[in-house]
Amino acid sequence: MTSELSAGCYLCDYHVHTDLSFDGRGTLSDFCLAAIDHGIKELGFSEHVGIDASDDAYGTLDYERYRRGIESVRERYAGKLIVKMGVEVDFRSGVIAGIEHYIQTHEFDYVIGAVHYLEGDILLRTAIFEERPQREVWDDYFNEMFLMAQTGLFDIIAHLDVPKRGYVPLYGPFDWTLYEDAIGKVLAEAITRDTALEINTAGLRKQADEIFPSLGVLKLYHQLGGKLVTFGSDAHSPGKVGCDFGAALEAADAAGLTEVSTYSGRKRTTVPIRI
């Protein structure tokens, strides 16, 4: 499906994890070959980084090995694929200074910010919703997302409503309108900071049964004046590169979002999605 879309779209997958991440499988080259096969124009690697010592990703990324690997695949696939070196940083409001130091002392094409934890509890499983009131979880999560957006440290906000992964199996579809004020606050801050919003397709494979964020959230983002988006499969293996991008493109169209943001050396360029 992705290869069929590529003829009329500028496809960029800016959220993938290789075996350089603690939870990824497949080499940089494996992912590049998959992207070429699917007609992806730009492939952005976004290996995990955790700053808090309790984070699963803490201390797991070998930056120099990553940098050398990117240089190698850029040379190997020149003319066939544009390769970008990004990172997905786990945001925790208690370690903002450490996050800022890491970002300032390492070179990337773009930096994704993501909230995966609340007070050490991972948000991607049902357990947190079994142990805490659902309203409390969502309120705390969106507050952390707001604090992340407020820092202005990130180029892209990842999978804005990712706790759906743990919520939907217990409670069914997530009604984002119950949290519209909190979500709107995050989106408005992202717009103020020129931070892009990611359209992430992993929710279609990860029990949420829809993209991250919900279509209604994308429409709200556009209504608030938001224009900057990226696409991410959140692939942790080569076979998932560009996965379900048809749904992501349909969501962007439905929300009135017409451009995709690309990055090089932390500088953004926007390109029409439909070419």
Query: DSSP letter string over 218-244?
Result: HHHHHHTT---EEEE--BSSGGGTTTT
Reduced to 3 states (helix: H, G, I; strand: E, B; else coil), residue 174 is coil
Residue 24 and residue 237: Cα distance in Å, rounded? Answer: 6
Residue 118 and residue 146: Cα distance in Å, rounded? Answer: 14
Strand-by-strand arrangement of the 42-49 sheet: 12-16, 42-49, 82-90, 110-114, 156-157, 196-200, 229-232
76: number of Cβ within 10 Å: 14
Model confidence, pTM: 0.96
Residue 120 and residue 79: Cα distance in Å, rounded? Answer: 44
Using one digit for the tens of pLDDT, what is the confidence trace for 107-127?
Answer: 999 999 999 999 888 998 899
Residue 181 lies in a domain: yes
Q: Average pLDDT of the chain?
A: 96
Residue 257 lies in a domain: yes
Residue 207: band (very low, low, confident or very high) from pLDDT cuts 50, 70, 90? confident
Q: Check whether 175 has a pLDDT greater than 80.
A: yes
Domain with residue 140: its CATH number is 3.20.20.140
Positive or negative CA dihedral for 193, 199, 202, 203? Answer: positive
Per the structure, the complete domain to which residue 249 belongs is given by: 89-272
CB 43 within 8 A of CB 81: yes
Percent of the chain, pLDDT > 90? 93
Using one digit for the tens of pLDDT, what is the confidence trace for 64-122?
Answer: 999 999 999 999 999 999 999 999 999 999 999 999 999 999 999 999 999 999 988 89
144: number of Cβ within 10 Å: 19
Q: Which amino acid is located at 67 in the chain?
A: R
Residue 268 lies in a domain: yes
Total domain count, the chain: 1
Residue 217 lies in a domain: yes
Residue 25 lies in a domain: no
Using one digit for the tens of pLDDT, what is the confidence trace for 118-171?
Answer: 988 899 889 999 999 999 999 999 999 999 999 999 999 999 999 999 999 999
Residue 245 and residue 69: Cα distance in Å, rounded? Answer: 26
